[in-house]
A and B are shown apart, each in its own frame.
Chain A
Amino acid sequence: MENKKPLSPHIQIYSWNISSLISISHRIAGVINLLIFTLICFWIGLLMLGESNYEYIKFFLQSYFGKFLILCLTWSFIFQILSEIRHLFWDFGYGFELITSKISGLFVIFGSFILTVLIYLIGKQII
């Protein structure tokens, strides 16, 4: 009888809010960043093997897809840093009120996009 009891629905039905959305995005961005930094290390490692390897990767990163990828990574890196700063405030015991956490959450989301655009423009030497 004990095993026959069903499990009530959980993530399928629970509504999302800003905090939970950022929490899961923070984790995903963390995993992506970890992989990317490993790849960058490999890329630098490849330089030891000669010039042609560098050229090959440079060619890829200068394509439209490569550029798009770089922008995405810039975003995920900034997003994680901003979200981590939010966590730091929490660790000091600040910002737990519902309204504060909502505002800081929106700050993380919009901040990450604004900073990504800013870095893009700086990289393009537009500003």
Chain B
Amino acid sequence: MVQINLPQNSKVQKGEYYKDKTGSKNIRKVNIYRWDPSSGKNPRIDTYEVDMDNCPSKVLDLLNKIKNEIDPSLAYRRSCAHGVCGSCAMNMDGKNGLACTKPHAEINGDINIYPLPHLKVEKDLIGDLSTLYKQYESIEPWLKTSAKVESKEILQSREDRSKLDGAYECIMCACCSTACPSYWWNGDKYLGPAVLLQAYRWIIDSRDEERKERLKKVADELKLYRCHTIMNCTNACPKGLNPAKAIASIKKMLATS
């Protein structure tokens, strides 16, 4: 259901202000969404003044600097720092992306950092993605063949392999799904762009033998057709992939099969 306003316990309040202590002249204000599960209070926005002269280029560097030098209680996920693992997906300057690949110089004015939209918050910038993982499991993302003996590799032509380009690169960071208004309102039923892109990846794999069953399973008013081509997913994808196009391809396959 469409719920524009946040629930009472999610209303964001003004938080603390951390003044710069280094005396630097190159200061930027960073507003970060904070919520501490042990406090029992509403989420708040803390503001940090950060010395930009001694800060590397990406938003993740900025967060690391805040955590190391200003406020060690700040919580966020990160791992590879090279745009490969998808852990540091968050909402920066109103747009989803990976903190490790987003340069803070691209953001004008104060830097606003929120967790991925419309998720249950675990702590600070960490959202609960378990629904998305369950949906991912529901499309059975593994190769299905009738071959009894698994002694030989299954060959694939170059042409068939190239069909997977633009689908296999997905790192499941959930930037696209949590950018999608349809997924906000119907996230419990609609699969969302990330999972549908993966569904597409297995449907078009020439080695997979259950194409028809896969298509049948995904053909559902709520699971698939809640996509109204809003294109927020493609706009958000930090890997430059196109989930909107993949979803349209599934719809087209269903319409023509």
Task: Indicate, yes or no, whether A interacts with B.
Answer: yes
Name the contact of A7 in the complex, choosing from B93, B121, B232, B242 (C-beta under 8 A): B121
Shortest B229–chain A CB gap in Å is: 5
Taking a contact as CB atoms under 8 Å apart, the answer to whether A15 and B128 are in contact is no
Number of interface residues of B (CB under 8 A): 45
State whether A17 and B248 are in contact (beta carbons under 8 Å apart), knowing that A5-B122, A7-B6, A8-B121 are contacts in the complex. no
Answer yes or no: B118 CB below 8 A from chain A CBs. yes
Q: Would you call the interface of chain A mostly helix, strand, loop, or mixed?
A: loop
Set of chain A residues within 8 Å of B95, measured between Cβ atoms: 14-15
State whether A6 and B234 are in contact (beta carbons under 8 Å apart), knowing that A15-B93, A93-B252 are contacts in the complex. no
Taking a contact as CB atoms under 8 Å apart, the answer to whether B42 and A5 are in contact is no
Set of chain B residues within 8 Å of A96, measured between Cβ atoms: 234, 242, 244-245, 248
Set of chain B residues within 8 Å of A19, measured between Cβ atoms: 229-232, 235
Set of chain A residues within 8 Å of B37, measured between Cβ atoms: 1, 4-5
**Residues from 109 to 153 in B contacting A, C-beta threshold 8 Å:** 112, 114-122, 127-128
Set of chain B residues within 8 Å of A13, measured between Cβ atoms: 91, 94, 112, 114, 117
Set of chain A residues within 8 Å of B155, measured between Cβ atoms: none
When C-beta atoms are compared, the residue in chain B nearest to A19 turns out to be B231
Taking a contact as CB atoms under 8 Å apart, the answer to whether A17 and B252 are in contact is no
Answer yes or no: B72 CB below 8 A from chain A CBs. no
Answer yes or no: B200 CB below 8 A from chain A CBs. no
Answer yes or no: A9 CB below 8 A from chain B CBs. yes
Answer yes or no: A68 CB below 8 A from chain B CBs. no
**Residues from 97 to 123 in A contacting B, C-beta threshold 8 Å:** 97-98, 101
Shortest B252–chain A CB gap in Å is: 6
- 3 closest Cβ pairs, A-B complex: A15-B94, A19-B231, A6-B10
A-B contact pairs, 21 of them (CB 8 A): A1-B37, A6-B9, A6-B10, A6-B35, A7-B7, A7-B119, A8-B114, A8-B118, A10-B184, A11-B4, A11-B117, A15-B94, A15-B95, A17-B232, A19-B230, A20-B231, A91-B248, A93-B245, A93-B252, A96-B248, A97-B242
